[in-house]
Structure 1
Amino acid sequence: MTNTHHAIDYVELAAPDLRASQEFYRRAFGWEFNDYGGAYAGIRDADGEGEVGGLNPDGTAGPGLPLVIIYSDDLDATLQSVRGAGGEIIAEPYDFPGGRRFHFADPAGNQLAVWGKS
């Protein structure tokens, strides 16, 4: 895994119920985790080399924190995955210059967005 100067390198989300957060992200996006004994879960990079973020059970979740935006090749399918995993849709898909996106809250209350080109 290569780190890029001035690029987002790691995103940490609050996860008061660590297991529930892992299950949500596993079901919604297929994410895998490095387990650190229930005290923390690292979000594995898609290529399996390193981590791109983590779930912190000591963090405080909620709106108004930094917005993490996830890319999707199929926004509508991802919307259904998020709903099916128990996410709350905050903003239904909308158009913006360059694509479409929606916002959701995970079970801990963290608000994130997903965007796609179509």
Structure 2
Amino acid sequence: MARNNKINYIEIPAQNIVATKAFFGEVFDWSFVDYGPDYCSFAAQGVDGGFFISDLVVSTKTGSPLIVLYSNELETTQNKIEKAGGKIIKPTFSFPGGRRFHFSDPNGNEYAVWSE
């Protein structure tokens, strides 16, 4: 696949890197590479990226882009998110092509999960 002019990497703020890695590892089975105490990266999750220490949060209310993950089993993923300390901030709703919900991670960052 050609990389030229394509989204290649995304960096997300996190107040707590340890909690972030635990949450995404438990819920989505992500693994991380640490680059010191203030940064970790992830790969092969649709797009590669990383988390950096920051007091800021990602929220559609403030105009941030929404990172949307896919799940084959929407309800199972929602249960895992809640069990791992995430909060559902917009309950599951239907849209043309599927269903989705929005959640916040332990840092307060907003994400969505959708399914067909």
TM-score, normalising length: structure 1: 0.85
Q: Distance in 2 between matches of 1:75 and 1:104?
A: 12
User: Which deviates more, 38-47 or 100-109?
Assistant: 38-47
What is the aligned partner in structure 2 of residue 37 from structure 1? 36
Give the CA deviation at 1:110.
0.5
Number of residue pairs the alignment of both structures matches: 113
Report the identity percentage. Answer: 37
Q: Distance in 2 between matches of 1:3 and 1:35?
A: 27
Q: Distance in 2 between matches of 1:112 and 1:92?
A: 12
Q: Which runs of 5+ in 2 are unaligned?
A: none
Mapped contact 1:72–1:115 kept (Cα < 8 A): yes
What is the aligned partner in structure 1 of residue 53 from structure 2? 57
Give the CA deviation at 1:59.
5.7
TM-score, normalising length: structure 2: 0.86
Give the alignment of 1:1-118 within 5 angstroms.
Answer: 2=1, 4-46=3-45, 52-58=48-54, 60-63=56-59, 64=62, 65-117=64-116
Change beyond 3 A, Cα 1:96–1:5: farther
Give the CA deviation at 1:9.
2.3
